[in-house]
């Protein structure tokens, strides 16, 4: 069995105080995992094949499109043919635990691959090299097939109950994530509605049938009186006793207390009488 030196921290006590001290020890090394090495090698080969396929099809389709557009645009559009089915294959891998969700990207990837292969074959046909065009199209098919085999090998086989369990777990987590933006929208709408109500209330237009209230409020020391319950003289006396001595302020209070605005002369007469009595 092979060993290798490693550093471990062990407790060491001196004078009643314990410290962790580094110590060099020999530990056994696990045997080489040849399966993992082979899988890494196959994955590297698949990546190399995919790169060669993208370069070939981009050059072929780009030359085909360059007959009608400038080369930068032609080759920029040509690379899309391969990127689409590669992206679909990646989404299929991400959905490997849910067969229903993986079905759509799988079908889309096959369709995109077919379009790319047809474009490569069409380039060979236009260039009077149909055989080369067909062989070039097969390159993309081989790259797609190799990656399909690699990904299928790395996808764990799950029994139906486990697949259903994972599906429900993902659905529950997805529902939790979906509620967050929905709640955010609800809160935003509630804040907007509250701001609208406050703006309407501040502007006095929340109830257009309601007349505007008098901005001149009576003194806080004056007790509220029900309109029509007092005479003008009594209302003037209450205002006087509450500290209101200005004629206009007393008149406004009398109007609120009696429900009818008194004449300035009447208010002056009562005020003079109160001043004399004081």
Between the CA of residue 71 and those of 58, 133, 139, what are the distances in Å? 12, 20, 23
Pairwise CA distance, residues 151 & 86, whole Å: 13
Contacts of 197 (CB under 8 A, 6+ apart): 206
Contacts of 88 (CB under 8 A, 6+ apart): 105, 106, 108, 109, 112
Question: Which pair of structure tokens corresponds to residue 108?
Answer: 């889309």
What predicted TM-score, i.e. pTM, was given to this entire model? Answer: 0.57
E strand intervals along the chain: 3-14, 17-28
| Half-sphere exposure at residue 269, Cβ-oriented, CA atoms within 13 angstroms | 8
Measure the N-to-C terminal CA separation of the chain; round to a whole number of Å.
117
Pairwise CA distance, residues 166 & 140, whole Å: 34
CB atoms within 10 A of CB 223: 10
Give the pLDDT of residue 252. Answer: 84
Residue 54, Cβ density class (10 Å: 0-12 exposed, 13-18 middle, ≥19 buried): buried
Pairing of strands 3-14, 17-28: antiparallel
Helix (H, G, I), strand (E, B) or coil at 15: coil
Give the pLDDT of residue 229. Answer: 57
Which H or E element spans position 41? helix 34-65
The one-digit pLDDT tens for each residue of the chain (278 residues) are 677 788 888 888 888 889 998 988 878 777 888 888 999 999 999 999 999 999 999 999 999 999 999 999 999 999 999 999 999 999 999 988 888 888 999 999 999 999 999 999 999 999 899 999 999 999 999 999 999 999 888 888 888 888 889 888 888 888 888 889 988 888 889 888 888 887 777 654 444 444 444 444 545 555 554 544 568 888 888 877 777 778 888 888 888 888 788 888 888 888 888 877 76
Give the pLDDT of residue 200. Answer: 78
Domain ranges of the chain: 38-156, 232-277
Give the pLDDT of residue 202. Answer: 66
Give the pLDDT of residue 1. Answer: 61
Contacts of 6 (CB under 8 A, 6+ apart): 24, 25, 26, 27
Give the pLDDT of residue 215. Answer: 43
CB atoms within 10 A of CB 158: 14
């Amino acid at each position: 069995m092979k060993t290798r030196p490693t550093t471990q921290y062990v407790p060491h006590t001196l004078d009643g105080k314990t410290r962790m001290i580094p110590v060099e020890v020999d530990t056994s090394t696990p045997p080489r995992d040849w399966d993992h090495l082979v899988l890494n090698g196959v994955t590297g080969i698949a990546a190399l094949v995919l790169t060669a396929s993208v370069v070939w099809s981009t050059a072929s389709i780009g030359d085909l499109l360059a007959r009608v557009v400038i080369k930068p645009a032609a080759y920029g559009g040509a690379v899309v043919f391969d990127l689409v089915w590669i992206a679909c294959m990646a989404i299929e891998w991400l959905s490997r635990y849910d067969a229903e969700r993986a079905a759509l990207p799988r079908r889309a990837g096959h369709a995109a691959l077919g379009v790319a292969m047809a474009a490569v074959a069409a380039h060979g046909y236009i260039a009077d090299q149909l055989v080369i065009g067909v062989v070039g199209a097969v390159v993309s098919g081989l790259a797609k097939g190799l990656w399909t085999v690699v990904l299928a090998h790395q996808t764990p086989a799950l029994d139906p109950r486990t697949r259903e369990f994972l599906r429900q777990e993902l659905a529950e987590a997805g529902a939790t994530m979906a509620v967050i933006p929905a709640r955010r929208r609800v809160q935003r709408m509630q804040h907007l509605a509250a701001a609208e109500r406050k703006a309407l209330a501040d502007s006095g237009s929340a109830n257009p049938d309601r007349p505007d209230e008098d901005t001149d409020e009576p003194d806080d020391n004056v007790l509220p009186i029900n309109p029509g319950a007092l005479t003008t003289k009594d209302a003037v006396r209450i205002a006087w006793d509450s500290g209101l001595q200005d004629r206009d302020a007393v008149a406004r209070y009398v109007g609120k207390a009696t429900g009818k605005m008194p004449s300035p002369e009447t208010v002056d007469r009562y005020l003079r009488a109160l001043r004399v009595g004081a």
